[in-house]
Structures are given as C-alpha cells and as structure tokens.
Amino acid sequence: MRVLVTGGAGFIGSHLCDRLVAEGHDVVCLDNLCTGDLRNIHQLQGSPLFRFVLADAAEPFNIAVDRVAHLASPASPVDYSRLAIETMLVNSVGTYQALEVARKNGARFLLASTSEVYGDPLESPQGEDYLGNVNPVGPRACYDEAKRFAEALTSSYQRIHGLQAVILRIFNTFGPRMRREDGRVVPNFILQAIAGQPLTVYGDGTQTRSFCYVDDLVEGIYRALTTDAAVGEVINLGNDGEMTILALAERVKEITGSASDITYMPLPEDDPQRRQPKLDKARNILGWEPVVSLEDGLGSVAKWFQENPA
C-alpha cells in the first residue's frame, strides 16, 4: 500500500508510520509540526519507504496514494484549548482536503475520530450507536464538534461519492512520544511521580477513563486500514478497563516507586465523568483485542521519559 498519514509526526501518527514501514508499505507523512515533532520520525528518515512533507493538512494538497489516514489534530485538552481555531480548521477544512485526496486517487479513507464525540456521556459504556452529549460552546467544543463535523463530512463523501471510508473513535491512548507538556493525565502523573512532586488530581478523582497502550491502538488502526469488512463502519478503539483517575494516580505511584503526595485541583469545565468503550465491533470486525496491561504500558512510558529527558 501507499499510505498518506496526516499528523504522521505526532504521538499516534509516528507509531503508525513505524508500523506501516515495518510492514513494507510506502508512507508519506504530512505534518505541520504544531504538536508533532521531528524526533518522533527520526528513525524513519533514511528509509526509502518513508517521505516527510512539512505542510498544514488544512491547505490543499494532492498525492497519489491508495490509503489516506487522517490523524492530524491537536489532541490533548491543553493543546486544543491553546490551538482552538487550528483544531477546528484541521478537523473541518483539513478533513475536506484529506477526503479530496482520497476521492481523486480512489483511495480508502480512515478518519481518526475520538471518544470526545460522545462528550460527557449519559450512558456507559459507550457503544458506537450512542449519539453523545456535547456542549457546543464549551472549552472542549473546538475538538468535539470539529471531530463530529469530520465524521459527518466523511459520511457525506461515502454517500455522495461512494468513498470507501472507516471512522475510528479513539479512546484515551498513552505511550512513548507523548509530549511532556501536553497536559494529559498519563504524562503529568508519571513525570510528577518521577520528580517526587505531588500528583495533580483534578476534581475528586472519581471521574473514570479507560487507557489503551499505543501499540494496541496502532494494531487496531492497521487492521482497519487493511480489513475490507471495516469499510463503511464506525468503530471504537481503546481499552475497556475502566478506572478512576484517583486509582490511576495510585497505580503510577506504585509502578514508579514514588513517594509523591496526591494534591487536588479544580476539575476543568465539561470534563467527562465517565468514559469506557464498548469494543464488540472492533473485536468482531477487526478481530482485535487490546493486550498490553496498564502496568506494562505505564512502565514503558516511565522508562521512555527517563531515557529521553527534556
């Protein structure tokens, strides 16, 4: 396959590029480096199968490929608040540009959507048929509503142009190459624990998340790119091991052997109270299952941060 990966220098995008090249596919990685980092793709730069293009996915572009994986977007609440307009543009205009590349080349399209389309869900776990509970004017709206738009635009291309597309709703994912300053809970807690600083739990820590290790996620994305039965489907990808944020803080302390305290800070506005994916579709259509334990995953991230100091 020849695959365009937008956002290919980002956290998940770079792991996807690694996997595609390892499988012998040609990869064009497009990134404007607004939250991506060239260090994430350094290991690929000499490969004849890999090409990096420094460009904004919201600008027009064309390239002959047979798969388009549209991952470009700021993805942490801290990043997308800081880059709210860029986030809306890359998920609206950028999705349009990426869909046009797919349409012009007869390529299959993969949209990296998000569990955030479910907002602060009123039912749990969340199946793909749940329509969501999103505040359209809150601080997370720039991401949630833009991803909802991206899903709607992708669906319109399927209906009008007969485009072959798969929409993946990606739940909380963690792993090496998360930025130290991206503000998400896993890098924050691990870096705080390693430094012996208090772990900052927002709210009372009873809100839940379900954390998927990046290798598992990339396996799911790879299968979605290569499985015919995935075409036309919306599929949750993540890990269904739900836990409270307070429990995560305790686990991080155990795994890093840290004596850090836990400190409580205000809960951000519209912070979802519960989040857990239903994974039946991923299991049935992709034959996929997350296999990396939370302990192993957190251990790998802690090691990576220690080996890659700021």
In the complex with ligand UDP, which residue's Cβ is closer, 29 or 245? 245
Q: Which residues are catalytic?
A: 143
Q: How far is the CB of 281 from ligand UDP (least distance, A)?
A: 21
In the complex with ligand UDP, which residue's Cβ is closer, 197 or 300? 197
Q: How far is the CB of 207 from ligand UDP (least distance, A)?
A: 4
In the complex with ligand UDP, which residue's Cβ is closer, 107 or 201? 201
Q: How far is the CB of 130 from ligand UDP (least distance, A)?
A: 16
Q: How far is the CB of 271 from ligand UDP (least distance, A)?
A: 5
In the complex with ligand UDP, which residue's Cβ is closer, 138 or 183? 183
Q: Please report, as ranges, the residues that interact with ligand UDP according to CB under 6 A.
A: 76-77, 172, 183-185, 188, 200-202, 207, 209, 245, 267-268, 271
3-class DSSP string for the chain: CEEEEECCCCHHHHHHHHHHHHCCCEEEEEECCCCCCHHHCHHHCCCCCEEEEECCCCCCCCCCCCEEEECCCCCCHHHHHHCHHHHHHHHHHHHHHHHHHHHHHCCEEEEEEEHHHHECCCCCCECCCCCCECCCCCCCHHHHHHHHHHHHHHHHHHHHHCCCEEEEEECCEECCCCCCCCCCHHHHHHHHHHHCCCEEEECCCCCEEECEEHHHHHHHHHHHHHCHHHCCCEEEECCCCEEEHHHHHHHHHHHHCCCCCEEEECCCCCCCCCCCECCHHHHHHHCCCCCCCHHHHHHHHHHHHHHCCC
